Structure 1
Amino acid sequence: MVGVKSIRYYFWTISDWAYLGHRRLVEIANRHGATIDYRPVDLPAIYAKTGGILLGQRAQQRQDYRFAELRRWKVRLNDPINIEPKFSPVAHELSSRLLIAAKLGGFPVSEFTFDVMKAAWVEERDISDPNTLREIAARHVPEVEQLFDSAASSEVLAEYQRYTDDAPQDGVFGSPFYIFKGEPFWGQDRLDFLDEALAR
């Protein structure tokens, strides 16, 4: 449900930085009485429109710096994360569509979203594998196969496409991206600024 204080949360389900920011985003939103509009997106499609470059295509110096930053934030946040997970990168569409199906079905998706990303970044699991996703989904919805059927529907596909199309129009070019009252915040390292904006 979208409230008066609503954060549009654009994220890629296989995003390391979205994983690191997720718990804090939820805590900040709860503290300010804000809702979160979860919007899983096809980040490569957004990159194609906004000049982004997939990790494996970036210069080695940029890839090395990402590792350095992940190590720093792992210590800063005291969060478990595998810097080089066993399954990365993997296909992201099924996990995204399952989350959208759960959202459209009226189920809470905060913990579901976190468990998907935690599986990838902590538990060394393949979140492109339907069996992995079935096990995760079973914790959050009563009818897993019904959720899978919904995830394959044209309605969910259209919503997934809408989020991906809307993202660049909202100023989004990466993951995670938070939008509050038209103001964009890119990355989990900008959550303090989002917190301040909500306080105002």
Structure 2
Amino acid sequence: MLFPMIILGFLSVVVGFLVNPLLDLGFVSKHAFSHFLEHNLFFDDPKEFHFVFEVAIISTILAIMGIVTAILVVKGKLNIKNNFVYKILINKYYFDEFYENLIVKKFFYNKIGSFISWIDENIVDKSNAKISDFTIYLSKKMSKIQNGHLQSYGFVFFTALTVLMIVFFISNLNTGDSWLDLIDKLNSEIY
């Protein structure tokens, strides 16, 4: 694995230098890619690049320290298992624990879950119970009509027909038809 990484690292440095060289190479002018981007992209106020040695020195020192530390850890000369920074990094800054305990458990489970549970218990379950109670109530009332007496059946038929005719006539009041036309229309819809 080391050899392919060396090849990739070397080629990335070479291609990066060829695309945007610090010197004139003859076939590629100095800072050619930067000039290409400057003239082809929209910039409000293009700034001149100034090299800052302090930033370069600090980043180089940090990179060398990281490389030396990695070599010492790999060779076993530096034990970092009990180090505070190692524990933070190995636990991914404790982001998973924070997310699981605070966001998932306290927010989703406790807040949103309890709200949805309340809706389920107080609205969904109780509405089903009320619908079944109403159905039982209607069935008890309707069972009194189904008693075998012909006059009860006639009363229900006459009441239902009267209600239907009232609804039909009220719904057709604004059509401008006469009562006889509405009765003819009702007869044509029935037959």
RCO (CA 8 Å, sep 6+): is it higher in 1 or 2?
A: 1
Q: By percentage of residues, which structure has more helix?
A: 2
Between Structure 1 and Structure 2, whose CA radius of gyration is higher?
A: 2
Q: TM-score range by the shorter chain?
A: under 0.3
Q: Which has the higher strand share?
A: 1
TM-score by length of 1: 0.20
Q: TM-score, normalized by length of structure 2? A: 0.21
